[in-house]
Homo-oligomer: A and B are copies of this chain.
Amino acid sequence: MVNYPKNVTYEHPKTTWRQKEPTPLSDEMLNSVECWWRAANYLSVGQIYLLDNPLLHEPLTANHIKPRLLGHWGTTPGLNFIYAHLNRTIIERDMSMLYITGPGHGGPGMVANAWLDSTYPEVYPDIDYSEQGMRKLFRQFSFPGGIPSHVAPETPGSIHEGGELGYSLSHAYGAAFDNPDLLIAAIVGDGEAETGPLATSWHGNKFLNPLKDGVVLPILHLNGYKIANPTILARIGDEELEQLMRGYGHTPYMFEGGFDGEDHLEVHKRFAALLDEVLNHITRIKADAEAGKLNERPRWPMIIFKTPKGWTCPPVIDDKQVEASWRSHQVPLANARDSDTHTKVLENWLKSYKPQELFDQTGAPVEAIRRLAPRGNKRMSDVPQANGGLLRRDLILPPVENHEVHFSARGNRFVESTRVLGEWLADVIRLNPDNFRIFGPDETASNRLAPPVYSATDKQFNGEIWPIDENIATTGRVIEMLSEHQCQGWLEGYLLTGRHGLFSSYEAFIHIVDAMVNQHAKWLKVSRHIPWRKPIASLNYLLTSHVWRQDHNGFSHQDPGFIDHVVNKKAEVVRVYLPADANTLLYTWRHCLKSQDYINVVVAGKQPAPQFLNMEEARNHFKRGLGIWEWASNEIAGEAPDVVIAAAGDVPTLEGLAAARILRERLVDLKVRFVNVIDLMRLQHEREHPHGISDAEFDAIFTTDKPVIFAWHGYPSLIHRLTYRRHVHDNIHVRGFNEEGGTTTPFDMVMVNDLDRYRLVMDVLQHVPGLAIRHAGLLQEMQDARNRASLYARTHGEDIPEVANWVWDDSPTQKTGLKAVSATGGDNEY
């Protein structure tokens, strides 16, 4: 893997979906599989326990054992068993496989397998095939400055962080889309199988196209126990479990082995036969698909793999059953260092794998093992899809300029910005037919990306399609399922294997995936510092049904806090954009679809809204990220303004502009500066975020001491948080969402939350020294206007015409000669 050339399009290996006659394992192959398994188990136990003496060349003593035993054994032997058997089939059938480790605690096993197939020493040359290399392999595991105890970005072959559970199958399906030559073996832990996201992710099989997509082979690792409990699926009986799998649309193959002292060679033989049967079943489906003979959704095989938890560890320790119980979940022998008896038990356990048969004197795996490693990037730890950046091709991005929204005067044209974006995305889809997808719960139409997007593609679905259905087909670039977890998991799997996409959703309900975002952000943060992991496409969110326009729904659908959640992540990973109109939205998305290794959150309304910037202005504004809108300002060049009205977000921008207009008309002498923020991270200091700007730049735009009335899309505290070290901070006054939503006309909504134009004018009057007293009449007038508007809405059920019909007056500013001041720099290529 270290030899991957840079800047070269990487061809991923092809699979031949070949049938194989069921023949018993040869003795040689049987020996290889058994030796691999024992070696992987030995290396796993070694990682958990050993500081030194890795090959047991001397008797084991306390000094060879780690002082703190941290790791998990329980799921590991099962994972190792499956890995060994899949290796055989890869070699015999020349297949391309990706191995996804759902049981997160299987970390030591996956490291062991990657070492055995020689990927690990290639990627980490100091962990080589020597006694010293094996010592390092053991020592680094779950050790300060070493590697995590879970499957992680550091693990070659993995696209799946083994922390939070529940996403193995959605990652697998995400990886399978548009990868027709790939088989993804998705090991599902019976613990994670209890989670909600996993429980619904079985339905991924209704979205896979048997011809154009890859194959997901779920293997339910039914070892029966969690940390301290049995698992549900192990306690409902085989019949019910099989019905569940059939109900999920699978053909279950039940395998039970390793109990009651069953001979390991027998278990291998039986599992090898079953695996051949399963792969032949898959191959038949593939062949039928290729021959056009598939008349219905295939019931893809899945395997129920019932083996003992902690398999091959000491069955009983201190008179308690450990193997085949929850007691083997973490470290079966907790006192291995402190108790001579336990040290001896550990030594015997390690020796039970007969390491002298598995490794030569230097520590290298013996030939019987090495021949079970597939060649090159057919090795599951080296498969390029597990390092998706290798396969990532830049999207061909059509010019956004073709979709410019023209207007005769600023603000006089009302457009659904997301529909304009949809037109551009339709072009993106046409130009990138096999590596770009849109995922969403049920929002593509509601969010106005459709109809345009459906001029270029359909929604992909493989359940029954009825004549009444529209824009649904067995292939298509849009995938919709009412599960944010699946959308997120699929997109992650798609991106991690080298492709591009976006997730379109409700702003309020995107919190459903908060925890998944955390995991992906961690993945990106860590991956950036692993040289052999190549950058992947950014994870892009389009949040259009946003907090300010939930007329159909109300309070239950209002929550702008996802931005706050994302901003807690590492600055190098996170970007947040709030374009105020369609033209800026286009440039925003052009940037997002070009970017790599970020989480981009774009918030944009879907309702008809006024358009303010022409294409050149939009491009420059996006590039700068924030800046003064001179045409909306009313100040004199060279003089400081009296007040700054700042706005971020489409609705706040509209209200801020309306407030600025009122001030221009009513307080002719007041020097008002209007600032718009599109790239939220520009507010931070350049020390804190790559997009941040210096104090000098910030001061030039926001002043050091004038009142800043900030109309903000989300919770006000976030603006304070981003700016609290700025000179002007004590004079920044934010209006945003204050959890007082619940009404059902747009202006009533902003009034209830104090973000309305009249309230903003009142804020200006109250914070510019002297104004409130001199203009007490205007203050009262604004309050009256609010009362009037509120009463009107509550009587008529719609907004008062003076607001509903309000249009920005684009007549020239009173003052002239203002020069634009905008932030510079940043990485916002347009």
Contact = CB atoms under 8 A, between A and B. Distances in A.
A606 to B, nearest CB: 13
Nearest to A235: B463
A561 interface: yes
B68 A797 contact: yes
Contacts of A70: 551-552, 744
Nearest to A720: B724
A443 B227 CA distance: 8
A468 interface: yes
Given A144-B745, A511-B515, A745-B68, A163 B248 contact: no
A723 to B, nearest CB: 10
B68 A798 contact: yes
A166 to B, nearest CB: 7
Nearest to A67: B798
Contacts of A72: 552
Query: Range of interface residues on chain A?
Result: 35 or more
A196 B148 contact: no
B459 A229 contact: yes
A717 B571 CA distance: 13
Contact of A565 (B194, B196, B565): B565
A55 B796 CA distance: 20
Interface stretch (A236-244, A372-380, A597-605): A236-244
Copies of this chain in the oligomer:
2
Contacts of A67: 796-798
A160 to B, nearest CB: 11
Nearest to A145: B794
A352 to B, nearest CB: 23
A525 interface: yes
Contact of A570 (B325, B526, B739): B739
A556 B148 contact: yes
A206 B551 contact: no
B514 A508 contact: no
A483 interface: yes
Interface in A720-778: 720-721, 724, 729, 739, 742-745, 748
A61 to B, nearest CB: 16
Interface of A: 51, 66-68, 70-72, 104, 139, 142-146, 148-150, 152, 161-166, 191-192, 194-201, 203, 206, 226-232, 235-237, 240-249, 321, 325, 330, 442-446, 450, 459, 461, 463-466, 468-469, 472, 480-486, 508-509, 511-512, 514-515, 518-519, 522, 525-526, 551-557, 559, 561, 564-565, 568-570, 715, 717, 720-721, 724, 729, 739, 742-745, 748, 790, 793-794, 796-798
15 contacts: A67-B798, A70-B744, A72-B552, A144-B745, A195-B482, A227-B445, A228-B445, A229-B482, A230-B464, A230-B472, A321-B468, A512-B514, A518-B561, A724-B724, A724-B729
